Amino acid sequence: MHDSLGRSSFPLYAQVLVAVLCGATLGVLFGEESYLTGLRNEQLGQLGLWVVWVLKTLAVPLIFVAILDSLIRTSLPLGQGVKLLAICLVNVTVAMIIGLTIMNLWQPGKSWQGHVEDLLQVVPGTNLQPIGTASEHPLEDLLAYIPRTIADPFGNNNIIGVVLLALGLGLALRWARTKSGQAGGVLDQVAWAIQCLYGWLVTVLWWVILAVPFAVFGVVANVVGRSGIEVFSVLWIFLAAMLLGLAVHALLYYPVVAWWVGKKPPTVYIGQGADAIVTALSCNSSLATVPITLRCLERMRVSSQSARLAACVGTNLNNDGITLYEAMAALFLAHALGYDLPMSKQIVIVVASIIAGAGVAGIPEAGMIVLPLVLSAAGLPEHVILAAIPLIMTVDWIIARARSGVNVMSDMLVGILLDVGKSTSLAKSQPEVGN
């Protein structure tokens, strides 16, 4: 909850909207002229970029520790774990197919071509550089992200390498703790230290997030001051593309699978799950919605075991909303820069989005944190990432709520599918309960 981290009662999206309004006003009024004893909008833009840079730097160790903490503490039987992983893998694969199809057929990012230079003006002295050429086989591109040394992925912000290291170390620590069987031993102290470090990093992250509105304010003032208020006229298509992908996945794929495989028609899946969906849209957190999700699954006559596994354990994996958004945003910006990415490079983006989404469960503003790393995995120039993200943040508060709603719908679908094949005598003997 917000209070545990000392968050303001004034929501972040409202702060960002105020920052956009104030920054745009400052840009229109003063343009590139100096004011207040020599201060320029360009200088505000530079300060704003520092916030994004710190956010990106903090994301790498945060994801690493989050995965370690999750692997060490989560208890999951092998049979149920395999079934859960299989369901989540199918769901996220469909999400990626939907996202890639929309972005490759529609290519909405091309509407930004000619406007990217406006973003690059935020970082003086930069210009467009081509993305490195892809290999002939997708596997070669993926193998390039395997770290050569332990420190390599941290220094290069290699999200795929970071997750691979975290998975290997986390599984090794989990196996060693299980084999030792000694309570209060050294390994338990290591697990406790990792848990404390994770909590500390999340707290520091929120302190940085509190500065995000100031970053948006500075970058917007700089961009509007240089290019005029018309720079916002192209943001609507980014918003529309992201919401389209999320809507197709959540409102078509989920209900069809819940009905066809889980035998829960839309009146049950969406009707009785509406409380959880609306709560996620309102509070922008699938994790905070877990109690409501469990209650909705109980109404659907999903067993408590499957419901807890999907909503409590599976929430670390059911991040279709985040993974779909990250991949679509990366392709959008690539097209905006005029890059026609080969399928091998798009697969790298997909893999980076999937593993990043699995590593940020429970992290505040997860989509915002991971996006710079996924864009780096896509090969986008660093200066373009730093310049584009603050502008994307001006509409991200809308997309973030849609992502949370999709993640909660994913939790409910996984719970329904986990129950398939189990004894359903209770469900058959009793009528469905409405809202």
The Cα–Cα gap between 433 and 167 comes to 41
Which residues lie below 8 Å from residue 215, measured CB to CB, with a gap of 6+? Answer: 47, 48, 49, 50, 51, 52, 390, 393
C-beta atoms surrounding 428 within 10 Å: 8
187, 265, 296 from 412: Cα distances, Å: 35, 13, 8
What structural domains does the chain harbor?
3-429 (1.10.3860)
The amino acid that residue 96 corresponds to is: M
Question: Ramachandran region of residue 205, left (φ > 0), alpha (ψ -120 to 50) or beta?
Answer: alpha
- End-to-end, the C-alpha distance of the chain in Å comes to 26
139, 141, 334, 413 from 145: Cα distances, Å: 10, 7, 19, 32
The Cα–Cα gap between 303 and 418 comes to 9
The Cα–Cα gap between 35 and 388 comes to 26
Structure tokens at 363: 């992290």
Residue whose C-alpha is closest to residue 397's, from 6, 20, 88, 119 = 20
Which residues lie below 8 Å from residue 37, measured CB to CB, with a gap of 6+? Answer: none
Longest dimension (CA), the chain: 77
What is the per-residue pLDDT for 172?
A: 84
**Residues β-bridged to residue 289:** none
What is the per-residue pLDDT for 137?
A: 53
Q: Going residue by residue through the chain (435 aa), what tens digit of pLDDT does each one get?
A: 344 444 456 676 678 788 888 988 988 888 888 887 788 888 887 777 777 777 777 777 877 887 787 777 766 666 667 888 889 889 989 999 999 999 999 999 888 776 666 555 554 444 444 444 444 555 555 565 566 667 766 766 666 677 778 878 887 887 887 777 666 678 788 888 888 888 888 788 778 778 878 888 887 888 788 767 766 777 889 999 999 999 999 999 999 999 999 999 999 999 999 999 988 887 777 767 888 888 999 999 998 888 887 877 666 667 888 889 988 988 998 888 777 778 878 888 888 888 777 656 556 566 677 788 788 877 777 777 776 777 787 788 789 889 989 989 999 999 999 988 664 444 444 444 443
What is the per-residue pLDDT for 170?
A: 80
What is the per-residue pLDDT for 127?
A: 46
What is the per-residue pLDDT for 247?
A: 96
**Residues β-bridged to residue 35:** 39
The Cα–Cα gap between 30 and 38 comes to 12
In DSSP notation, 235-296 reads HHHHHHHHHHHHHHIIIIIHHHHHHHTT---HHHHTTTTHHHHHHHHHHS-TTTTHHHHHHH
The answer to whether the beta carbons of residues 333 and 375 sit under 8 Å apart is yes
Q: Give this prediction's pTM.
A: 0.74
What is the per-residue pLDDT for 110?
A: 85
The answer to whether the beta carbons of residues 118 and 227 sit under 8 Å apart is yes
**Residues β-bridged to residue 39:** 35
Residue 156 per-residue DSSP state: T
**Residues β-bridged to residue 269:** none
Structure tokens at 95: 């999400």
The Cα–Cα gap between 143 and 140 comes to 5
The Cα–Cα gap between 108 and 96 comes to 17
Helix (H) or strand (E) holding 18: helix 12-30
Chain-centre distance of CA 9, in angstroms?
23
The Cα–Cα gap between 364 and 1 comes to 10
What is the per-residue pLDDT for 3?
A: 45
The amino acid that residue 122 corresponds to is: V
What is the per-residue pLDDT for 246?
A: 95
CA-only gyration radius of the chain, Å: 22
